[in-house]
A and B are shown apart, each in its own frame.
Chain A
Amino acid sequence: DAGVIQSPRHEVTEMGQEVTLRCKPISGHDYLFWYRQTMMRGLELLIYFNNNVPIDDSGMPEDRFSAKMPNASFSTLKIQPSEPRDSAVYFCASSLRGVGYEQYFGPGTRLTVT
């Protein structure tokens, strides 16, 4: 299996622009998670899906962030408009069994907002 795939690996954008991060989970995994990692705050769970349905989005920082999962093999995390404080590494992870079980992470997208 190819593992969790994320694109792009690096994104540099200007404040105010829309940013879309993409994720393809491991085939057969019903759970998909979006995390953000920064030096200051560590690893934060933003949102997770089960069978393409958002279950818990309490970690989404504000309305500028949105996430979708139109099918079992694709998810997006969108930031509109982006701000410099959104600069971070964003990870997507998938799990076969659920929230409390092992998760498999993608390589991450390093976002820089100038």
Chain B
Amino acid sequence: AQSVTQLDSHVSVSEGTPVLLRCNYSSSYSPSLFWYVQHPNKGLQLLLKYTSAATLVKGINGFEAEFKKSETSFHLTKPSAHMSDAAEYFCVVSDHSVDSNYQLIWGAGTKLIIKP
């Protein structure tokens, strides 16, 4: 069965330091993977997506994620955190297996806190 685990419910970093938000997944076949961001009192916005092309995916606002099949991971990173990055981030997996309907499985979310 598909699942997605965001390993940290909260991550706190200082402004200007690197960001790492961890995501592990399980999937029967080759998955598509997404990161969404939700700023306080806002809707969800697509940050980036992996759909079996390049394993290193670049997204908006300087974020990127690397698909590692051997580790079943899709961690989100950014070299230097900015105050405006404070938000909740969701890792999402989609399974395209033949014998199951397409569906999106949402992680529980990671709240990113940026310290001045």
Contacts and interface: CB of A to CB of B under 8 A. Distances in A.
Interface string A79-114: 000000000000101000011111111111010000
A42 B43 contact: no
A7 to B, nearest CB: 13
Contact of B102 (A4, A98, A105): A98
Nearest to B108: A42
A100 B94 contact: yes
A91 B43 contact: yes
B1 to A, nearest CB: 15
B94 A105 contact: no
B90 interface: yes
A105 B49 CA distance: 15
Contact of A99 (B34, B36, B103, B109): B103
Contacts of B96: 100
A98 B44 CA distance: 17
A43 B46 contact: no
B32 interface: yes
B46 A42 contact: no
Contact of A100 (B102, B106, B108, B109): B102
Which one of B42, B44, B46, B109 has the greatest number of beta carbons of chain A within 10 Å?
B44
Interface of B: 32, 34, 36, 41-46, 49, 90, 94-96, 101-104, 106, 108-109
20 contacts: A42-B106, A45-B104, A56-B101, A91-B43, A93-B44, A99-B94, A99-B101, A99-B102, A99-B103, A99-B104, A100-B32, A100-B104, A101-B32, A102-B46, A102-B49, A103-B104, A105-B36, A105-B44, A105-B45, A110-B41
